[in-house]
Amino acid sequence: MNLSWVRDMLKEARQGWSGSPSSDDSTIMSSPTPTISTQSDDDNQQEVVRPTASLSDQEMLDRARAAHDNEDFRAMSAGPEANGPWKRVEAADRFVVFRREVKASNNEKRPNELEVMCAGRLDASLEEVASILRSSSEGEHNAAMAALYAKDFIFGSYERDVRYPGDNQNETDDHNHEELSVKTQSFARTAMFANNEQWCYFDYFQRKKERDGFTISMRALPPTESTPGRILGQNARVDQLHGLNTSYLVDKLPNRKGLRVVFHAWFDLEESTDKRKNSRRRSHETTSSNTSSSPNLRRHSFPHGDNSKHKAHLRRLLAMAHGVTKFPELIRCRRFGVQIPARICPNHATNARCPCCTHSLATVKLSLAMAASAIANRSLAHLKVDTRRCYLCGYLVCVDCWTAEQMESFAGRVAAITVCTRCHVNVEACEYSEVFAGTAEEREKHRGPPRVIEDANDTSTVLLLVDFLSTSLLNTSSGSVEHAAAMAVIRVLLRQDSDDEDSDEEYDDNNECEQAPRFKEMEAVEKIREILSDEHQLPSLEACKLGNAEHRNYLLDLPDDPNVDVPRSPIPSNEAERIASIKSAGLLELADIFAPEIPRTDVKVNVPDVHDLELLCQLAVKTLGCAYAFVTIMTTKHEHIVVGTHPGFVGAAVPRAQTTCQHALMSPYPFMAVHHEADVRFHKHGATSAVPTRFYAGFPLTVPIVGGKPEDDEMTVVVFLGEFRTSKLCSQCHQTLSAVRYSVDTKLPKRKKCKGVVLVRNRAEVEFEDKKCHAVLPCDHENCETRYWDRDVNAAINMVELLKSEVLGRGRMEPFRRS
């Protein structure tokens, strides 16, 4: 080895690291080619010197569309075999990583070696994968990248969304459902003495209806294009990943369950070469007088630096492809975060056998051989049964039936949990498309367990309640059954006893000369408004609790095959006392009259008046903003729907295991559940399969316990069944409805009322922003004759059509079937 050449190379490296060479060595160490340590600094200097370019939104959108159209997604869907020679690098789960293998001769043009591809199959929904790749907030973007790349990912930024200028109706069909944003990602160095790396790029998302999937194009921003998140400067020691481009193809497999995911990444050699040429040209112009003194140094320094950059770029591509193989783990981690875990008290009775394999969990009997082995090893560890409590069902599980998993909480944190094999199968069988649909803001709003929040400033439940009661009184004649029911509800709200001495005379239909009531009707309504508007009369936010919202206080007996069976019904500890109480209160007879287990054909019974209960259901629909409400009674084997706002459900006796109300019995507080299709407790229920329930809220009512103390109460159930996904699809063309946007004030406080007087504000200082209107939904499809739908009316029509289809034996309509 030429020792003088090695000495010269070390001196050159020392000069690059110090940044201030001595005057004696300046004539010897100058070189037109930057070394490994100085090339990134030269690139950063060049970026600072060059003028920055600013593109309009339309220009950025045109550039993104052009780059997206240049990508051959048809070839990507065919797999690596259709794109030439590929070398298999690794395989993880159902994903395989390839890199392009170069076999060209010296006379042929060498293809791009910096190119990788990862392809595989994923059992998930399109919305789950889109929520990872199409994150629309900085927090969600960082959480997803940290889960995929672990410690290799440092930080990322969500720069901005690129708005579509002009009229969207003029856009072609190929560019429907598109989104464009600018993001950055910073990665840790891939070698010991290398720099950290940053990738500034634009993210173009496009969803194709005919392919039932979506494509994503990510292209590096030019060095001349400024963005606030770009790290520049000589002291930054961060290499910019210029020329790094990636593409994603995600679509449903034909005639198979699951998704096909293809990832393609490469470095644009032309852009990287031009970048180095410009950097070398600038260095050559400043040191051209000293290049002839060291020909050997110039010949060896650049190939060494170029090879290092090549290896660094290849390592970065392989690391990004390896992150795609983490998709199944991240999706499984998020699915566990959707479920409601069990929190069992320590004094709860433990199960003697494993619920998965039925093996005994008792202590292993000590034989003579095992005792000798324990004495020889001086350890009793192998004699113990390593049982763990399952995070989801709450049962103790043997060592062969539990696995260590990770769960992503609604706050974005990741925790280690223990899950049994039976719960693992049930979690995978649920449907999660609705949970992860929408934007990051919409997912954040409904993320996590149900909770009680403050009322919005622009909504008033009290006004809705008062208007409803006033309308009910004004639209009914005095002495009618409906009028009497409205007055009974008003008395309940005012906590007055309706069984006073003049109540019978007041509501006697045959008595034309009615006695004067204890209060005037409209004065009573106004009194209700004053009571409910007084904040001192309302409970505090901390006092409003939900039962089993964040954790469950009972075990969950899940089925071995979640596609066939449903979980067994949880039984409260005082079930016998509860049944005795509702029997003594006459509720069993009421349930048998309105919703018998076996419908009557020839026996006539006296039906009591339940107009007040029907009015309560209507009141719940108005105040809670839900679609339907019901009053039910839960017995030992069935749930009887006594009254409700939907005639298709009233009078039915549903098996207890098929109901959501069974879980409301496990707590004295109101019970709420969202996304039944994604919950292991409800996803296989008949109601969930026939009509996709958006949410459920159950409010327990109490009756005295037979033979108990006066302060002991036991509950029956009033159920408010909430909105359905039927409100999202047009009842005429069964296509997705859009949202209407309207302008609202952003800076000044919202309009307030003080004793009926509207406060005046200066309209000249008002700034507006667009918000969505959820009550009216337009249909934008050309072939549909409908233009606008009221959400509740549209949902009601869809419900009637669904029930009609089921009655006629046609099954569930195609637009409402789950994949």
Tell me the C-alpha distance between 570 and 194, whole Å.
59
Considering only 125-139, 192-206, 227-241, 458-472, which range has the smallest mean pLDDT? 458-472
Whether the pLDDT of residue 804 is over 80: the answer is: no
| CA dist 177 → 21, 330, 386, 387, 777 (Å) | 57, 25, 51, 50, 18
User: Nearest 5°: phi and psi at 483?
Assistant: -65, -40
Residue 332: strand, helix, or coil: helix
Question: Measuring CA to CA, which residue among 180, 170, 228 is closest to residue 203?
Answer: 180
Angle value at C-alpha 213, between 731 and 423, nearest 5 degrees: 85
Residue 720: strand, helix, or coil: strand
Looking at residue 736, what DSSP letter applies? B
Q: Burial, 664: exposed, middle or buried (Cβ in 10 Å; 0-12, 13-18, 19+)? A: buried
- Only one residue has tokens 């994150």, namely 135
Contact 147, 330 (CB under 8 A): yes
Both structure tokens of 791: 């959400």
How far is residue 324 CA from its own chain's centroid? 19
Question: Measuring CA to CA, which residue among 271, 224, 267 is closest to residue 246?
Answer: 267
Stretch (H or E) spanning 664? helix 661-664
Report DSSP letters for 531-560, one per residue. HHH-GGGSPPTTT---TTSSSBSS-----S
Tell me the C-alpha distance between 613 and 361, whole Å.
50
- Only one residue has tokens 């944190």, namely 413
Whether the pLDDT of residue 39 is over 50: the answer is: no
Considering only 265-269, 491-495, 555-559, 676-680, which range has the smallest mean pLDDT? 491-495
Stretch (H or E) spanning 90? strand 86-92
First to last CA, the chain: 67
Of the CA atoms within 13 Å of residue 739, those in its CB half-sphere come to 8
Dihedral Cα 576, 581, 587, 588, nearest 10 deg: 30
Read off the pLDDT band of 667 (50, 70, 90). Answer: confident
Question: Measuring CA to CA, which residue among 273, 264, 256, 347 is closest to residue 310?
Answer: 273
Report DSSP letters for 178-214, one per residue. EEEEEEEEEE--SSTTPPEEEEEEEEEEEEETTTTEE
Q: For the chain, how long is the longest CA-to-CA vector? A: 123
Q: What is the mean pLDDT of residues 292-297?
A: 34
Number of residues that this document lists for the chain? 819
Looking at residue 645, what DSSP letter applies? S
Residues 228-272 have pLDDT tens digits of 888 887 777 899 999 999 999 999 988 778 899 999 999 987 655
The pLDDT, as a whole number, for residue 800 is 60
Tell me the C-alpha distance between 630 and 652, whole Å.
11
Residue 443 bridge partners (DSSP): none
Tell me the C-alpha distance between 298 and 9, whole Å.
10
Amino acid at 248: Y
Tell me the C-alpha distance between 564 and 305, whole Å.
62
Quote the mean pLDDT of the chain. Answer: 74
Residues 622-648 have pLDDT tens digits of 777 777 888 899 999 999 999 988 888
Amino acid at 582: I
697 or 786, which is more confident?
Answer: 697
Task: Please state whether 767 falls in left (phi above 0), alpha (psi between -120 and 50) or beta.
Answer: beta
65 or 747, which is more confident?
Answer: 65
When computed from its CA atoms, the radius of gyration of the chain, rounded to whole angstroms, is: 35
Q: What does DSSP say about strands 153-161 and 115-122: parallel, antiparallel, or unpaired? A: unpaired
Amino acid at 475: N
Number of helical H runs and strand E runs in the chain: 23, 26
User: Nearest 5°: phi and psi at 38?
Assistant: -105, -10
Residues 68-118 have pLDDT tens digits of 999 988 888 887 776 567 889 999 989 999 998 766 555 554 556 789 999
- The structural domains of the chain, ordered by start, are 36-279+300-325 (3.30.530.20), 338-428 (3.30.40), 453-544 (no CATH), 563-723 (3.30.450), 740-816 (no CATH)
Q: What is the mean pLDDT of residues 532-548?
A: 78
- Only one residue has tokens 């199960």, namely 351
Residue 216 bridge partners (DSSP): 205, 248
Whether the pLDDT of residue 704 is over 50: the answer is: yes
Both structure tokens of 587: 């509720």
Tell me the C-alpha distance between 740 and 694, whole Å.
21
Q: Taking each helix axis as running N to C, give the angle between helix 295-324 and helix 269-286, from 0 to 180 degrees, rounded to the nearest 10.
A: 150
Question: Measuring CA to CA, which residue among 213, 432, 179, 249 is closest to residue 330?
Answer: 432
Question: Measuring CA to CA, which residue among 520, 495, 493, 494 is closest to residue 506?
Answer: 520
Tell me the C-alpha distance between 819 and 259, whole Å.
12
Of the CA atoms within 13 Å of residue 554, those in its CB half-sphere come to 19
Question: Measuring CA to CA, which residue among 676, 418, 423, 397 is closest to residue 558?
Answer: 423
Read off the pLDDT band of 607 (50, 70, 90). Answer: confident
Whether the pLDDT of residue 459 is over 60: the answer is: no
**Residue 293 neighbours by CB under 8 Å, 6+ apart:** 27, 28, 30
Dihedral Cα 463, 469, 470, 476, nearest 10 deg: 160
Q: What is the mean pLDDT of residues 474-495?
A: 76
Both structure tokens of 806: 């089921």
Of the CA atoms within 13 Å of residue 40, those in its CB half-sphere come to 23
Tell me the C-alpha distance between 352 and 363, whole Å.
10
Whether the pLDDT of residue 324 is over 80: the answer is: yes
Tell me the C-alpha distance between 209 and 77, whole Å.
16
Tell me the C-alpha distance between 558 and 567, whole Å.
5
627 or 744, which is more confident?
Answer: 627
The pLDDT, as a whole number, for residue 758 is 47
Whether the pLDDT of residue 198 is over 90: the answer is: yes
Residue 353: strand, helix, or coil: strand
| CA dist 502 → 298, 506, 513, 518, 521 (Å) | 110, 6, 13, 9, 16
Contact 600, 622 (CB under 8 A): no
Residues 673-697 have pLDDT tens digits of 888 889 999 988 887 777 667 778 8
Contact 670, 424 (CB under 8 A): no
615 or 651, which is more confident?
Answer: 651
Read off the pLDDT band of 176 (50, 70, 90). Answer: low
The pLDDT, as a whole number, for residue 817 is 61
Tell me the C-alpha distance between 780 and 761, whole Å.
36
Instruction: Quote the percentage of the chain above a pLDDT of 90.
Output: 24
Q: What does DSSP say about strands 196-208 and 238-240: parallel, antiparallel, or unpaired? A: parallel
Both structure tokens of 223: 């060095």
Tell me the C-alpha distance between 469 and 449, whole Å.
33
Read off the pLDDT band of 347 (50, 70, 90). Answer: low
Q: What is the mean pLDDT of residues 450-474?
A: 73
Amino acid at 809: G
The pLDDT, as a whole number, for residue 771 is 56
370 or 436, which is more confident?
Answer: 436
Of the CA atoms within 13 Å of residue 425, those in its CB half-sphere come to 13
**Residue 523 neighbours by CB under 8 Å, 6+ apart:** none
799 or 258, which is more confident?
Answer: 258
Whether the pLDDT of residue 788 is over 80: the answer is: no
